[in-house]
């Protein structure tokens, strides 16, 4: 189109959005109106603008100008995100740029035309040329653009592209991956659902991407490529051949002749021309022999990329880049994959078409489809001990924002050091450091600090990190622009390295967990001695100190098995000592509170040993004044709630870890009697009919007897929504109205059970035992609940009525725990995992793929298979009726390790 034609319809528009394909060899700019794309040519009516920056007579010149005297810079796109040491270490890059400035900084500066200039400053000249070209052609101001970048470009490279465009006066509407733009140009967003492969052989880079089209969303699900492999390399191979065969010297004109031969042999069988007085010839057969290794390399990369996502069917291959006109490429792709190839659109223009369409989409009110790119490598934080906590996983669609809460592990910690890393390994030393910053903290006890850390990646792939300390309101934010980026080869090496070291990394992480657990035990013991040492005997203090020293020695050994065993022994030694001292503290507090409330301890117990009726510890001098309890009073003792559900003397307090110190619950009336009157039913006399006080924070112990059934009786108005068990094969459960009939069908079976009703949640420990006498007083025929406060016990459930067989409602994410980390084989890893405290939900990639087996992993690394079911409304979501600390997912020889991070401290 002429410039006059291109300006029609745009003269009165103040802000026009264009699409720009900033290529290694050529750059293009286009505009779309009513979904009709027009490429904007320059004054010479050329649509392809060579990405060559020249300088002559005090001004920049963009394009391929035949002038040996002019200073020129080619393929600047290959320098985005590179540092000085990259240039010095890479011969090919060094060949591109010979005159650079070594100022002692890693920032790459070139000596161009006597000026010290950065890569964004130089690249801005190409953007400025394109902007002027569009402004002149459209006769209107052009200041908004969607710009395409290679899929493997990382934060550093993307950031420099954005900076270059901004220097040229563009407002960058969006950076999108080149394959995504090409797919958009082919209208894949309007086609039926499916997966497509984009083969993009540009002038300086090769990219291959797998795109998934689902319900109007076009998403990149896998990427691969080589950022120093492209059509220019074909030109170099042809030029080298000419030099060798015809004894010619390398020069710009010979490179142009090589390019001319490449383009001609895409349509004819022989090429002949005259150069330097010599007849230069090249046959198509010889040409294909020269470039076959290069094409084979692209096929290998494509196959490797397809392996990232298993069990998919590719609906078609899209060719992008002028080099894909070479017939050998289509032939090689057909032989390797036998998949339909789309080549309707000029491969040089497919990317800029998609960018222009997206620019129109973003500047109009009618957005019909969504383009999503993915994160090339996982991003996370360093945890105490040197492990990584991944917040955003590799291949996560962007834009994305993830928030996690962290706390402190020591008292009076004044700073939280946040170290942002990139990579797939478990230990920070094996990952790439991106940035570090510090957040000031108020001086508080360990575990009381609540710091929210948010990782956000915008649609352009730029990462920002924000931290907020919730108690003080202190915050800090940083835009993470990694000094310099990674090539696609480096990304591939990182992924391969992570896979090869998976087992070693898992062992390192388990060792770290064991060390952290041991350190926590030591810290708690030392803190307890410091705070309540006055209640300990000298021998107890000495014994505790000896245990601490022994555990510290084991922690230095880095022997996980030894550390785990020593930690268990430590708990065996110190737990009774700490418990006895706590009981003494509790006794003192109870006496003080009783006096403050004018409570007569003897009177409160009503002359009975059933002291649990008022939840106090009876002072020793009162024991001989009390009479033996009756059978009914014995039943009343079983109603006591405290540290255990069968609590008796000495366990009638409530300790809350969330409150500072120890809090004592001390009512001034006989609770059980009042409850019996309120419920208007007699207390049971037969010991096989049991009554428990419902407490939403309690776990109830139930023993069933092999060969006998029992029932659990809930409130009359309650309806069972779901019942979940850890072991569904050893127990028989039958709900009926407000009762649940339960029977062990295997001896010595133990598990846990959660009952969710329309009003409450119940947690049980289940044990199976044997008896030969149904009159055994330890048997339970019926377990009945009474409820101290119906309203209160129902409020915390907020009328929970969701079916455990359906996908959860994620409109209220605060109700769920998303704090999981995953390592292992990505092809079988869940793309999302979370729990609601009762169920664990795992969402896998493909509903048609074979689902893996899921195992619970204990601290001794023993695996036990868990049962699961599929959500009724989501065929690739699995629901497990329990929450675990560790899980493993297996399919054949593939394995994934899953950690519930909510179980461990920062």
By the 8 A CB rule, do 386 and 421 touch? Answer: no
* Residue 98 CB neighbour total at 10 angstroms: 9
Give yes or no for residue 602 having a pLDDT over 90: no
Residue 453 to residues 427, 465, 466, Cα–Cα distance (Å): 20, 7, 6
pLDDT value at position 290? 94
pLDDT value at position 635? 53
Give yes or no for residue 581 having a pLDDT over 70: no
pLDDT averaged over every residue in the chain: 74
CATH of domain 191-339: 3.30.420.40
The topology under which CATH files domain 813-903 is Immunoglobulin-like (2.60.40)
Q: What secondary structure does DSSP assign to 271-292, as a single string?
A: EEEEETTEEEEEEHHHHHHHHH
CA separation for the pair 307, 301 (Å, rounded): 10
Selection from 825, 854, 821, 822 nearest residue 310 by Cα = 825
By the 8 A CB rule, do 20 and 130 touch? Answer: yes
* Residue 663 CB neighbour total at 10 angstroms: 14
Residue with tokens 């040996």: 68
Superfamily per CATH, domain 1-186+345-368: ATPase, nucleotide binding domain (3.30.420.40)
Residue 48 phi/psi, 5° resolution? -90, 115
Specify the 3-state DSSP secondary structure of 584.
helix
pLDDT value at position 300? 92
Q: Which of 263-272, 651-660, 828-837 has the lowest mean pLDDT?
A: 651-660
CA separation for the pair 219, 183 (Å, rounded): 10
Selection from 335, 323, 439, 423 nearest residue 379 by Cα = 423
Name the band, by pLDDT with cuts 50, 70 and 90, for residue 654: very low
pLDDT value at position 615? 41
By the 8 A CB rule, do 826 and 898 touch? Answer: no
By the 8 A CB rule, do 646 and 691 touch? Answer: no
Q: Which of 465-469, 656-660, 856-860 has the lowest mean pLDDT?
A: 656-660
Angle at 735 between CA 730 and CA 739, to 5 degrees: 115
pTM over 0.95: no
Average pLDDT over residues 708-723: 84
pLDDT value at position 294? 93
By the 8 A CB rule, do 898 and 822 touch? Answer: yes
Average pLDDT over residues 14-38: 88
ω into residue 409 within 30 of 0, thus cis? no
Selection from 400, 401, 208 nearest residue 309 by Cα = 208
Q: What secondary structure does DSSP assign to 104-128, as a single string?
A: SSSS-EEEETTEEEEHHHHHHHHHH
Selection from 394, 390, 389, 425 nearest residue 503 by Cα = 425
Selection from 52, 21, 71, 25 nearest residue 259 by Cα = 25
Average pLDDT over residues 308-324: 86
Strand partners, 712: 740, 783
Q: Which CATH number fits domain 376-492: 3.20.20.70, 3.40.50.300, 1.10.630.10, 2.60.34.10?
A: 2.60.34.10
Three-state SS letters, 304-365: HHHHHCCCCCEEEEEEECHHHHCHHHHHHHHHHHCCCEECCCCCCCHHHHHHHHHHHHHHCC
Angle at 162 between CA 160 and CA 164, to 5 degrees: 70
Selection from 523, 592, 511 nearest residue 558 by Cα = 511
Average pLDDT over residues 824-851: 79
Q: Are strands 142-149 and 16-22 parallel, antiparallel or unpaired?
A: parallel
Contact residues for 205 (Cβ-Cβ < 8 A; gap 6+): 24, 77, 78, 150, 225, 226, 227, 228, 229, 230
Selection from 400, 416, 420 nearest residue 408 by Cα = 416
pLDDT value at position 611? 38
Give yes or no for residue 129 having a pLDDT over 90: yes
Name the band, by pLDDT with cuts 50, 70 and 90, for residue 284: very high
Strand partners, 422: 379, 432
List of long-range contacts for 132-135, beta carbons under 8 Å, 24+ apart: 133/29, 133/40, 133/41, 133/42, 133/43, 133/49, 134/16, 134/18, 134/29, 134/31, 134/40
Residue 628 to residues 157, 608, 620, 624, Cα–Cα distance (Å): 82, 7, 15, 10
Instruction: Look up residue 171 and give its two tokens.
Output: 């407002």
Residue 182 to residues 16, 49, 77, 323, Cα–Cα distance (Å): 21, 19, 19, 15
Task: Express each pLDDT in 62-118 by its tens digit.
Answer: 887 656 566 788 888 888 888 777 777 776 676 677 677 776 666 788 888 778 888
List of long-range contacts for 94-99, beta carbons under 8 Å, 24+ apart: 97/73
Average pLDDT over residues 242-254: 88
- Dihedral angle sign, alpha carbons of residues 725, 729, 730, 731: positive
- Could you tell me the residue ranges of all domains in the chain? 1-186+345-368, 191-339, 376-492, 564-795, 813-903
Number of helical H runs and strand E runs in the chain: 19, 47
Name the band, by pLDDT with cuts 50, 70 and 90, for residue 846: low
pLDDT value at position 649? 33
Name the band, by pLDDT with cuts 50, 70 and 90, for residue 510: confident
Selection from 810, 833, 839 nearest residue 821 by Cα = 833
By the 8 A CB rule, do 116 and 109 touch? Answer: yes
Selection from 290, 293, 295, 337 nearest residue 318 by Cα = 337
Residue 602 phi/psi, 5° resolution? -65, -45
> Between 590 and 135, where is the model more confident?
135
Task: Express each pLDDT in 603-644 by its tens digit.
Answer: 443 333 333 334 443 344 434 444 455 555 455 444 443 323
pLDDT value at position 646? 32
Task: Express each pLDDT in 336-345 by its tens digit.
Answer: 999 999 877 8
Residue 853 to residues 239, 499, 819, 865, 895, Cα–Cα distance (Å): 56, 20, 22, 7, 10
By the 8 A CB rule, do 437 and 382 touch? Answer: no
Average pLDDT over residues 33-44: 88
pLDDT value at position 27? 92
pLDDT value at position 68? 59
Give yes or no for residue 130 having a pLDDT over 90: yes
Q: Which of 479-493, 573-587, 604-618 has the lowest mean pLDDT?
A: 604-618
Q: Are strands 194-201 and 206-214 parallel, antiparallel or unpaired?
A: antiparallel
Whether 191-339 and 1-186+345-368 are alike in CATH topology: the answer is: yes
Instruction: Look up residue 569 and give its two tokens.
Output: 């022994």
Q: Helices (DSSP H) in 139-215: which residue ranges?
A: 155-167, 178-185
Average pLDDT over residues 158-181: 87
Helix axes 252-264, 231-246, angle to 10 degrees: 110
Give yes or no for residue 524 having a pLDDT over 80: no
Instruction: Look up residue 452 and give its two tokens.
Output: 């929210």
Task: Express each pLDDT in 737-782 by its tens digit.
Answer: 788 888 888 877 889 999 988 888 899 999 888 876 766 767 888 8
Contact residues for 53 (Cβ-Cβ < 8 A; gap 6+): 60, 61, 62, 72, 73, 76, 112, 122, 123, 125, 126
Three-state SS letters, 593-647: HHHHCCCCHHHHCCCECCHHHCCCCCCHHHHHHCECCCHHHHHHHCCCCCCCCCC
Task: Express each pLDDT in 690-699 by its tens digit.
Answer: 767 777 878 8
Task: Express each pLDDT in 333-366 by its tens digit.
Answer: 999 999 999 877 888 899 999 999 988 888 875 4
Task: Express each pLDDT in 171-186 by its tens digit.
Answer: 888 888 888 888 888 8
Give yes or no for residue 592 having a pLDDT over 50: yes
Average pLDDT over residues 410-427: 79
CA separation for the pair 136, 144 (Å, rounded): 15
Residue 569 to residues 554, 562, 897, Cα–Cα distance (Å): 12, 11, 28
Angle at 182 between CA 177 and CA 187, to 5 degrees: 125
Instruction: Look up residue 568 and give its two tokens.
Output: 């268990």
Give yes or no for residue 139 having a pLDDT over 70: yes
Residue 563 to residues 163, 361, 550, 566, 905, Cα–Cα distance (Å): 52, 59, 10, 5, 18
Report how far apart the first and last C-alpha atoms of the chain are (Å, whole number).
Answer: 62
């Amino acid at each position: 189109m002429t410039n006059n034609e291109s300006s029609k319809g745009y003269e009165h528009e103040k802000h026009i959005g264009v699409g720009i394909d900033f290529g290694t060899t050529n750059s293009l700019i286009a505009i779309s109106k009513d979904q009709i794309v027009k490429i904007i040519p320059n004054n010479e009516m050329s649509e392809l603008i060579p990405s060559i920056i020249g300088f002559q007579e005090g001004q920049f010149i963009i394009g391929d100008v035949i002038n040996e005297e002019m200073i020129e810079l080619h393929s600047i796109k290959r320098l985005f995100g590179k540092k000085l040491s990259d240039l010095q270490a890479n011969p090919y890059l060094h060949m591109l740029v010979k005159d650079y400035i070594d100022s002692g900084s890693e920032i790459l500066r070139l000596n161009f035309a006597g000026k010290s200039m950065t890569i964004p400053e130089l690249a801005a000249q190409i953007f400025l040329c394109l902007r002027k070209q569009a402004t002149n052609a459209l006769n209107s101001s052009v200041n908004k653009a969607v710009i395409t970048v290679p899929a493997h470009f990382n934060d550093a490279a993307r950031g420099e592209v954005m900076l270059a465009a901004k220097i040229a006066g563009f407002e960058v509407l969006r950076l999108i991956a080149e394959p995504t733009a090409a797919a958009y140009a082919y209208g894949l967003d309007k086609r039926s659902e499916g997966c497509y492969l984009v083969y993009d052989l540009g002038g300086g880079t090769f990219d291959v991407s797998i795109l998934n089209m689902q319900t109007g969303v076009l998403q990149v699900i896998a990427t691969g490529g080589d950022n120093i492999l492209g059509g220019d390399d074909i030109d170099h191979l042809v030029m080298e051949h000419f030099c060798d065969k015809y004894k010619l010297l390398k020069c710009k004109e010979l490179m142009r002749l090589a390019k001319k031969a490449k383009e001609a042999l895409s349509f004819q069988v022989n090429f002949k021309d005259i150069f330097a007085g010599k007849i230069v010839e090249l046959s198509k057969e010889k040409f294909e022999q020269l470039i076959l290794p290069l094409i084979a390399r692209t096929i290998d990369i494509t196959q490797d990329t397809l392996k990232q996502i298993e069990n998919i069917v590719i609906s078609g291959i899209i060719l992008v880049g002028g080099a894909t006109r070479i017939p050998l490429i289509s032939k090689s792709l057909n032989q390797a994959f036998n998949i339909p190839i789309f080549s309707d659109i000029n491969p040089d223009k497919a990317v800029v078409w998609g960018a222009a369409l997206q620019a129109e989409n973003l500047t109009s009110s009618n957005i019909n489809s969504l383009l999503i790119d993915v994160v090339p490598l996982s991003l996370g934080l360093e945890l105490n001990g040197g492990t990584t906590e991944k917040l955003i996983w590799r291949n996560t669609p962007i834009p994305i924002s993830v928030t996690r809460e962290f706390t402190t592990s020591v008292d009076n910690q004044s700073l939280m050091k946040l170290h942002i890393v990139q990579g797939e390994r478990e230990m920070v030393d094996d990952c790439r450091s991106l940035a570090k910053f510090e957040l000031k903290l108020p001086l508080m006890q360990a575990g009381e600090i609540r710091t929210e850390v948010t990782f956000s990646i915008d649609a352009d792939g730029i990462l920002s990190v924000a931290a907020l300390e919730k108690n003080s309101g202190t915050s800090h934010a940083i835009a993470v622009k990694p000094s310099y980026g990674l090539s696609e080869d480096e990304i591939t090496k990182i992924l391969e390295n992570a896979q090869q070291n998976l087992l070693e990394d898992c062992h390192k992480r388990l060792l770290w967990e064991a060390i952290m657990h041991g350190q926590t035990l030591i810290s708690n013991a030392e803190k307890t001695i410091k705070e309540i040492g006055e209640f300990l005997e000298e021998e107890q203090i000495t014994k505790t100190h000896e245990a601490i020293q022994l555990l510290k020695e084991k922690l230095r050994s880095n022997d996980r098995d030894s550390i785990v065993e020593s930690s268990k022994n430590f708990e065996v030694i110190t737990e009774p000592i700490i418990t006895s001292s706590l009981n003494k503290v509790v006794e003192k507090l109870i006496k003080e509170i009783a006096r403050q409330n004018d409570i007569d301890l003897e009177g409160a117990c009503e002359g009975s040993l059933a002291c649990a009726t008022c939840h106090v510890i009876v002072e020793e001098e009162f024991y001989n004044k009390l009479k033996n309890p009756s059978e009914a009073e014995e039943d009343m003792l079983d109603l006591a709630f405290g540290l255990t559900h069968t609590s008796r003397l000495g366990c009638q307090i409530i300790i809350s870890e969330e409150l500072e110190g120890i809090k004592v619950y001390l009512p001034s009336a006989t609770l059980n009697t009042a409850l019996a009157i309120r419920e208007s039913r007699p207390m049971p006399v037969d010991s096989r009919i049991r009554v428990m006080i419902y407490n939403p924070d309690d776990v109830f112990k139930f023993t069933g007897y092999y060969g006998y059934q029992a029932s659990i009786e809930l409130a009359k108005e309650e309806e069972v929504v779901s019942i979940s068990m850890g072991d569904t094969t050893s127990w028989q459960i039958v709900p009926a109205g407000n009762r649940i009939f339960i029977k062990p069908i295997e001896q010595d079976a133990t598990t846990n059970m959660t009952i969710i009703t329309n009003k409450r949640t119940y947690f049980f420990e289940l044990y199976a035992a044997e008896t030969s006498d149904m009159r055994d007083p330890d048997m339970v025929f019926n377990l009945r609940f009474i409820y101290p406060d119906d309203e209160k016990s129902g409020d915390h459930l907020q009328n929970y009525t969701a079916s455990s067989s359906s996908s959860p409602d994620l409109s209220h994410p605060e109700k769920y725990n998303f704090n999981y980390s995953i390592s292992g084989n990505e092809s079988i890893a869940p793309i999302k995992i979370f729990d609601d405290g009762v169920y664990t939900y795992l969402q896998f990639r493909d509903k048609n793929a074979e689902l893996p087996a899921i195992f619970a992993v204990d601290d001794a690394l023993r695996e036990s298979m868990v049962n699961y079911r599929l959500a009724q409304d989501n065929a690739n979501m699995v629901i497990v009726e329990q929450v675990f600390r560790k899980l493993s997912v297996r399919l054949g020889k593939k394995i994934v390790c899953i950690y519930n991070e909510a179980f461990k401290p920062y």
